[in-house]
Structure 1
Amino acid sequence: MSPIDKSESCTVFRLQDSTGDGLMRVYPVFPGVSLLYNDFHLESCTSYFRPGTDMFCIDHCREGRLEWEMEDGRCQYMEAGDLQMSTRVDHAGMFRFPLRHYHGITVALCLEEAGAVLPGILAGFSVDVNALRDKFCSKGQLFIMRAGASIEHIFSELYSVPETIRDTFFKIKVLEMLLFLSTLEIPEGSRERPYFYKTQVEKVKSVMALITENPQHHYTLEQLSVEFDFPITAMKNCFKGVYGTSIYAYSKSYRMNAAAIKLRQTKESITTIAQQMGYDNASKFAAAFKSVMGMTPAEYRKSIV
């Protein structure tokens, strides 16, 4: 990751590797408090970040999925609509993006500096950021939960801020967020997030590779279970945990998007494209295409300018 642009109000970093790239825009909000906009289009990246001070970070995922491997071999996931809080103590390591993209916002607090400044920002504002860190990240563990309507509303407004009011708006929304989190009751059992072991994750990634490399073949769950020596229920649960959808829905969406590319870029007949996607019946292909793309193959081809 390297800086590509810097001004008084924003620093832009570019992340690049062989699988793609991404941008991170960093805005200072208060001393010790920054707002980061993350837009990544890649399969994986390695983080070398090790904080030199105590930190508390709040991450909101708007689109995509984020995977990281724990020290004990477990893999955990953050998906669209999730809120994560962490101290960044274990942030160095490999991160993967199963859907090849991730978009979200991070509120990063350097606790010593932020803790000294925030109480004097606004009369009556009494949020203790160290207590907030201990509430959600006791013993340094990370915390993930669904954002919920209230916190989702706060973040949704941060994704479309007019530049003319940006600096003031950032300050208001960060204070609102911290105040809301200070009063939030942690739902019972919310610290227990589904996880999968690396061996399981590697198998479902092989499943994904097989069905995308051979779109003309419609594999049954039984065939995939035997092929990868993976019990059906465990395979289905792990696949949805990694990719956020069922094997059937993922395979169907992939085929229809691959068909859409062919409709755009070639003059092959719809019947031929249907066969390439494993459909001998053109009407069934048209129905499947419409369910994913919102129009029939013929309508889609006509809509291309």
Structure 2
Amino acid sequence: MGFLFENLKHYHSNIKIVAINEHCTVYEFFAENGKGTMTSYEVFPGIELTYNDFKMGECFDNRYPKKNVMEINHCNQGRFETELQDGSFVYLKEGDFSVNMLGRRTKNSSFPLEHYYGISVVIDLEAAKTLSNHLMEDIEIDLYALRERLCFGDHCFIMRATTAINHIFSELYTVPNEIKRGYFKLKILELFLFLSTVDVSQNFEVPQYLSRVQVECVKQIKHYLVSHLDQQFTLNELSRQFGISLTAMKTCFKGVYGTTIFSFVRGYRMQIAAQMLLEGKENVTEIAGRVGYSNASKFAAAFKKELAVSPMQYKKNCLIGVGSIRLE
């Protein structure tokens, strides 16, 4: 049990340890809107690698910021939202990673798509100062210099998805259990070396900051849309109803949810329809009407475009356990 637990226990009382051994601790996090699992490994003294698997929307608030603790986050699936102390919001999409200090600039973290899978590396700079004792000859890593390169002025360094990032992180999601301990060490060192040489001026992105008012407005719009799947709305109608300009609504919605309003609603409708097909209580025509389609043929075409199979084939595949599609 390392720094992660000491930090987590301040966030929420509904965190418990469900498994632990010398090198790994598994935490479960329960909330009203879902649950999450965090599987944490101490790789080096003061350096922990954690797999984060959440099926929930809201997450942590940074009530107890930590000095000289650096966090690296990689988003593999879903979307990661961070609220800053000034009331603005910044987002990671699939394939992105960020580096920031766990200082007072961050306030809350959440998952707009209500599911998230990714990796975090937490570095307690003081505790990790003995890292050089564990390195091979000719490998030099200065974590404090890394902090100054990437987090100067308490900034959050964000690098969007690239082949280089994918190379480093993708292998961490598939590493066999029997080689994890040694492999984690190699990959963490590779990550640090990469960050020590990355061209910050070329890769530093000024994040798209969205205001609290805008974010709360589009979240209300999203809630309204998923609560009225049987109805059709134009963008102009939504803009007028929620008192936000059309341009701001479209820009902010995509910033929060990573897609257009049209694509989001269509995808959500098809996920609900897929669940209803498996429940078997209604036929295709009835389900089509429940998710906003008066024409069953148009519904079937939209379903196939979204899930790559027809509604009936989807149901058949799932019933026989072949080719079923996992819905988040």
What is the TM-score with the length of structure 1 in the denominator? 0.94
Residue 115 of structure 1 deviates from its aligned partner by: 2.9
Match of 2:68 in 1: 54
Q: Structure 2 residue aligned with 1:269, among 283, 286, 297?
A: 283
- From 196, 204, 207, the equivalent of 2:218 is 204
CA distance in structure 2 between the aligned counterparts of 1:77 and 1:104, rounded to whole angstroms: 14
Residues 99 and 157 of structure 2 are in contact (CA less than 8 Å); yes or no, is this contact kept in structure 1? Answer: yes
Residues 277 and 315 in structure 2, CA contact (< 8 A), matched pair in contact too: yes
Contact 1:73 1:198 survives alignment (8 Å): yes
1:146 maps to what in 2?
Answer: 160
2:306 matches 1:297:
no
Q: State the match for 1:107 in structure 2.
A: 121
Match of 1:216 in 2: 230
Tell me, in whole angstroms, the C-alpha distance in 2 between the residues paired with 1:149 and 1:256: 31
Residue 163 in 1 paired to residue 177 in 2? yes
Figure out how many residues of one structure are paired with residues of the other and give that number: 305
Runs (4+) of structure 1 exceeding 4 A deviation are: none
Matched, 1:190 2:204: yes
Matches within 5 A, 1:21-60: 21-48=35-62, 50=64, 53-60=67-74
What is the CA deviation profile of residues 24-79 of structure 1, one whole-angstrom value per residue up to 9, with x for unaligned ones? 11111112221111111111123356365512221111111122221221111122
Q: Deviations over 1:179-205 (max 9, x none)?
A: 111110024473311111111111111
Aligned counterpart for 2:108 among listed residues 94, 109, 118: 94
Q: Determine helix, strand or coil for the equivalent of 1:268.
A: coil
Query: How far apart in 1 are the matches of 2:64 and 2:192?
Result: 24
Task: For residue 120 of structure 1, report the CA deviation from its aligned partner.
Answer: 4.9
Q: Does the CA contact (< 8 Å) of 2:85 and 2:105 recur in 1?
A: no
How much does 1:3 deviate? 2.3
Identity %: 40
Counterparts of 1:149 and 1:189 in 2: how far apart (Å)?
13
- For structure 2, list consecutive stretches of 5 or more residues without a partner in the other structure: 1-14, 320-328
Shift of 1:232: 0.9
The residue type paired with residue 81 of structure 1 is G
CA RMSD, 1 decimal: 1.8
Report the residue type matching 1:224 in the other structure.
L
Alignment partners' CA distance in 2, 1:233 and 1:211: 18
Matches of 1:177 and 1:256, distance apart in 2: 39
Q: Is the 8 A contact 1:83 1:146 kept in 2?
A: yes
- Of 189-198 and 236-245, deviating more is 189-198
